[in-house]
Chain A
Amino acid sequence: MSGVTPGWGAEVVMDETTNLVAAARSIVKFFAHESCGQCTPCREGTSWLEAVLDRILAGAGRPADLDLLADVSDNISPGLRWPPAMTTICPLGPSAVSPILAILTRFRSEVEAMVSMGVPIG
């Protein structure tokens, strides 16, 4: 079957200078943009996540935003587990949740630092 692509995936390589909130925001933004808008959790949830990340990046983050991001994600993909459960019609909404989960679990201190500094990131 050489020369045939059975599917696609993507790997993004970032160095240690990358702002991971900004990285997460651009992935979430992609999914929010791709959302068809048919079902409520994806239409409203992905754009809400994007707005919260935008706000944090603009320096107006609040400590409560970490729990908020986690819970909004949970309302799109209950349990935040793999394979994802969904309140949505299709898996697009739950896909938007994985970068949030990644920054909240693996890079939590970075998000917390950004929220507590409260200055816009260029």
Chain B
Amino acid sequence: MPSPSSADGVLITVDGRSVQAEVGIPLIQACEVAGTYIPRFCWHPRMKPVGMCRVCLVEVESPRGRGLVPACTTPVTDGLVVHTVSPVAKKAQEGVLEFLLINHPLDCPVCDRGGECPLQDQVLAYGPGESRFVEEKRHFPKPIEISELVLLDRERCILCARCTRFSEEVSGDPLLEFVDRGYGTQVLTFPDQPFRSYFSGNTVQICPVGALTARPYRFRARPWDLEAVESTCTHCSVGCRISVQSSQNQVLRFLAVDNDATNQGWLCDKGRFLFEAISSPNRLTVPLVKGEDGQLSQASWDEALEVAAFRLEAILAKRGGASVAGLGGARSTNEAAYALGKLLRAAIGTNHVDAQLGDGLDPQFTVAALGRGTIDDLDRASTILVWGPDLKEELPVLYLRVRQAVQAGATLIVCHPRATGLDDRAAQRLRYRPGEGPELLARLQSGEGEAIAARQALAAGSVVALLGRASAGDDPRLPEAVAGWLNQFPEVRILPLARRSNVYGALDMGLAPTLLPGRVSASSGQARAELAQRWGSVAEGVGRDAGGILAGLADRQLTAVLLAGSDPVSDFPDPDLAQRALTAAGLVIAFDTFLSASARLADVVFPVAGFTEVEGTATNLEGRVQKLNRIVPPPGLARPEWSVFDDLAVRLGFELGAISAEALAKEIASVAPAYQGADWDVIEAEPEGVLLPRPGVVQPLRYVPVDPGLKPHKVRLALHRARLLYDQGVHLQSSPSLAGLATASFAAFHPDDAARMGIPPESRVRLTSAGGQAELLVRRDPSLRPGTVFVPIGLAGSESLGCELEVRVEVIG
């Protein structure tokens, strides 16, 4: 045998060529790395091999002679000799391809997969020229609806088990299974159990034929008519890489791109199908100005900018910059967020700016926590602590990554008021009532009762802690308190979790009262002076956060507010305050893609370009910067946000210098310390984006989380409020395929509580909090910590309840 093999691999012989390969990986993968492609259907690099379709049969040499083996289930061993194109291997592959085709309908001309179909492509490349099959093909009724989003055509199915394995292995909702056997084998859902999975679109994408199709794309385009550009999904802060595909200036689908650092080839259905909102007829297309009649009516850009600048100038002259505030930026690109910060802090002269809406965490903790980890750290962790949102509902692809890490052996601890999507994988499930988080933390610290095992797991080995707001009723400093305690252990990495879109990018661009661009503390006098040198000036004084801004507007200490893609009336935990604030404000200027509930209260509304319509960058929850690309023009007269900020600044007599998104990116790289070296060409060249700070770059702020010694808040009945994936959000409701998936609002009780309080099943209750009232349908949830009632945020009918901790119940029928 040729000699051996270096530390990272062994030598194998592929069709007579000696190549390096990693021991233990599937032979099919090793051959591909070496440039030899073996046909495949069931094998998928992100799932366990099963060797079912048999099309990757190759000959390997053994002491007993050559034998046929599937390349996907054969691990690489030292000195392996494989023949992938020998006559026997070729005949076997060809034979299997013929078998797969005999019962496959040749309806390619009307099949959505036609033109990008692995069966079509591989039969052409490796299969027989014609079929010898003259019998009647297998028939099934077609296609059948297996969920609101997915249709199944069992005649096209080649039974590769990719979809069934995905549901079982990856997403953990095994709703697709094989039924029957032999010739009658088929993929199907269980009776009365639709394929209602948050990840169903992935099965459509990995289906090697057109058996699974998704409603939003069915019959919309032929693959060869599609243009594609790679971009980053910004519906939540995970930062999944996607291919955005359009035809005739209309976005028609998103496909997942396999980015090893983030989504690894998967997407959630919300991210995948929310593209429909881009071409919604409800998009804002022209500027709107409120007339004397109090109605918003169409205006030209010049008019609208003139009105906004004129009224803003009057306020600045009378009350100064500190009477103006800015909310938003979390839905913007980094470049637009940076331009907004400059507009507010330098041109207008205010520090009242917040990209979060009272539902987030401490800004410095969020982007600059000491010991901040990466998503990848999960794969190396021995223990994972999730004390934060239900990841399946709020950061779905991060949920997949945690599942995978647990499958690989990590111990999972989940702290939440009720069962989360991850609980089936958790070794420890610690439930607590909202407000009583500090008590659970104390139990963990002392290792009492149910918390003994959890404490032991956290104190030993490498730990990754995913920390965020599990419940709106939790103290916002609770995640920091947990981090402060965990930091005493040697190998702890922390991922502070905020959910909304590009909120990490917005915070990195200084859209928070306590931050300046590039992970710099706003209280550093030197940093402020340096920034003033670059910007001309930077406002003095301490800024208000979102709560402070809205309170200030409501009691008229502040006069004007800029809303950049921000909808406090829908999203702020106290919607009543948000409503009062925007009604009382002397001037509200909104920059948005839709006329949100808040934008309706604005004096001037600017239509801005959204996702897939602008170039730029976004920063994900681990601080990774990735590129966003443009493929369609914005609707109507909508323009990129940064250019509107620039125009407004010019009319206020200030040069923002925002001539293009790329120029802004260059400025960010030179002004924002943690963004040094994050130029677009560098980001584009890296398939995984760029994790900041880059090696050798010093990030000025390292925020040391300290346990602030929180006291538990105990109430008789605690209100747990958290988000579900599908809600009444404007983007979701503007996506016809997803809109109906949002359920009606409800109040979930523990069965013991319901019995104690005399709440019959299927009844309605009136909940009263300090914020307001809501009449809701009753559900039972035995996983709830008793003494807690769960009412999701963002569903119609519970808005006025707010996010108060205490709630009272009366049965109304």
Binding site for B on A (CB under 8 A): 32-41, 43-48, 51-52, 55, 64, 68, 71, 74-76, 78-79, 85-89
Tell yes or no: B224 within 8 A of A by CB: no
Min CB distance, A73 to chain B, in Å? 10
Tell yes or no: B527 within 8 A of A by CB: no
Q: A68-B132, A75-B98, A87-B95 are in contact. Are A40 and B182 (CB under 8 A)?
A: no
Min CB distance, B92 to chain A, in Å? 5
Q: A85-B68, A87-B54, A89-B52 are in contact. Are A33 and B99 (CB under 8 A)?
A: no
Q: Which of A41, A43, A75, A89 is B182 in contact with, Cβ under 8 Å? A: A43
Contact indicator B182/A78 (Cβ below 8 Å) = no
On chain B, the residues within 8 Å of A88 by CB distance are 54
List B residues 174-208 near A (Cβ within 8 Å): 178, 180-185
Q: A37-B181, A37-B184, A78-B88 are in contact. Are A44 and B68 (CB under 8 A)?
A: no
On chain A, the residues within 8 Å of B183 by CB distance are 32, 35, 37, 43, 47
On chain A, the residues within 8 Å of B96 by CB distance are 40-41, 75, 87
Contact indicator B99/A37 (Cβ below 8 Å) = no
Min CB distance, B673 to chain A, in Å? 58
**Chain A to chain B contacts (Cβ below 8 Å), 25 pairs:** A35-B181, A35-B183, A37-B159, A37-B178, A37-B182, A37-B183, A37-B184, A38-B52, A39-B51, A40-B55, A40-B100, A43-B183, A43-B185, A44-B103, A45-B99, A55-B134, A68-B132, A76-B95, A86-B68, A87-B54, A87-B57, A87-B95, A89-B51, A89-B52, A89-B54
Chain A's closest residue to B97 (CB) is A40
For the complex of A and B, the 7 pairs showing the least CB-CB separation, nearest first, are A75-B95, A37-B185, A44-B99, A35-B182, A47-B183, A51-B135, A37-B182
Tell yes or no: B666 within 8 A of A by CB: no
Residue count of chain B within 8 Å CB distance of chain A: 31
A99→B68 CA distance, assembly (Å): 23
On chain B, the residues within 8 Å of A33 by CB distance are 182
Contact with A along B36-63 (1 / 0, CB 8 A): 0000000000000001111101000000
Min CB distance, A50 to chain B, in Å? 9
Q: A41-B96, A87-B68 are in contact. Are A47 and B182 (CB under 8 A)?
A: yes
A38→B178 CA distance, assembly (Å): 9
Tell yes or no: B91 within 8 A of A by CB: yes
On chain A, the residues within 8 Å of B55 by CB distance are 40
Binding site for A on B (CB under 8 A): 51-55, 57, 67-68, 88, 91-92, 95-96, 98-100, 102-103, 132-135, 158-159, 178, 180-185
Min CB distance, B101 to chain A, in Å? 9
Q: Which of B54, B91, B181 is A40 in contact with, Cβ under 8 Å? A: B54
Chain B's closest residue to A55 (CB) is B135
A41→B54 CA distance, assembly (Å): 8
Q: A35-B181, A68-B132, A87-B57 are in contact. Are A48 and B99 (CB under 8 A)?
A: yes
A43→B100 CA distance, assembly (Å): 10
On chain A, the residues within 8 Å of B132 by CB distance are 64, 68, 71
On chain B, the residues within 8 Å of A74 by CB distance are 91, 95
Contact indicator A32/B52 (Cβ below 8 Å) = no
Residue of A47, A71, A74 with most partner-chain B CB within 10 A = A47
Contact indicator A52/B68 (Cβ below 8 Å) = no
A64→B134 CA distance, assembly (Å): 12
Contact indicator B91/A75 (Cβ below 8 Å) = yes
A52→B132 CA distance, assembly (Å): 11
A74→B158 CA distance, assembly (Å): 21
On chain A, the residues within 8 Å of B135 by CB distance are 48, 51-52, 55
Q: Which of A47, A55, A68, A78 is B92 in contact with, Cβ under 8 Å? A: A78
Min CB distance, A60 to chain B, in Å? 9
A13→B159 CA distance, assembly (Å): 38
On chain A, the residues within 8 Å of B100 by CB distance are 40, 44
